[in-house]
Amino acid sequence: MGEGKATPIVFLHGFGGTAAGWHAVQTAISTDHPTLAFDLPGHGASLDYPDAVTARHFAQAVVEDLNGRDIPRVHLVGHSMGGATAALVAAFAPEKVASLTLLAPGGFGADINGRLLQHYAAARTYDALQVALEGMFGWRNPVPEEMIRRDVDLRRKPGQIERLGAILARMMKDGLQGTIPRAFIEAFTMPVTVAWGRLDNVLPVYQSEGLPPRFSIHRFDGAGHMLVEEIPGEVIRLISTTVRTG
């Protein structure tokens, strides 16, 4: 979406999602910037991407794809697992990253609600997905019906449930998630914005504390883990502001 020679904005979704989850935010952003949203390996149109079950693998796949498209530099926006992926792209290939906007990113602390994610990964029906997703939203924010139906359709693809299970198994060990080395995070020189919902029931908001002081940190009352759906206007504002500084 979008045209022009400006540095593109690339969107990376969270665990169990697809590029389609960015549609509203991407549409708004693309009026001023070229944009690109990926289906990360093991998800949606990239379900059959081989041998990729970790954020490190996903980051390598993103870099390879950008190189294949002859895109030298991008602004990265990542949610949850996509946030961890974006951070690792910035660590492995910092010359390709103009800025980072990280929405409740994975890998910033060991604690994770693995039981909720296991229910979500295994859910196949509308009702089961609705219950799992409600646990990821702020208490007063309803789960969009379109999101539930999109997830139902995704899980109808042969092998999708199994691939999600394999990714989740590598994401966690003994109930804890793998963490991004602190040295990687402290080495970032590009503008970095981090956003978190204070009611996040997947990755606790305290994982946004103690980050380098040059990072722009934003915590939102009433929001849960699904910031893209819960507070799209704020997400658009944060992306636009971060991109201008990069």
pLDDT confidence band for 3 (50 / 70 / 90): very low
Q: Among residues 19, 14, 17, 35, which one has the least CA distance to residue 84? A: 14
The first and second tokens of residue 213, run together, are: 């002081």
Domain 9-111+179-244 fold: Rossmann fold (3.40.50)
Give the residue-averaged pLDDT of 193-217: 98
Structural domain boundaries of the chain? 9-111+179-244
For residue 2, pLDDT over 50 is answered with no
Asked if 175 and 118 count as a contact pair (C-beta separation under 8 A), the reply is: no
Residues 82, 83, 88, 90, Cα dihedral to 10°: 120
Q: What are phi and psi of 6, to 5 degrees?
A: -65, 160
Per residue in 9-35, pLDDT (tens digit) is 999 999 999 999 999 999 999 998 999
The first and second tokens of residue 206, run together, are: 């305290």
Q: In the beta sheet, which residues pair with residue 216?
A: 193
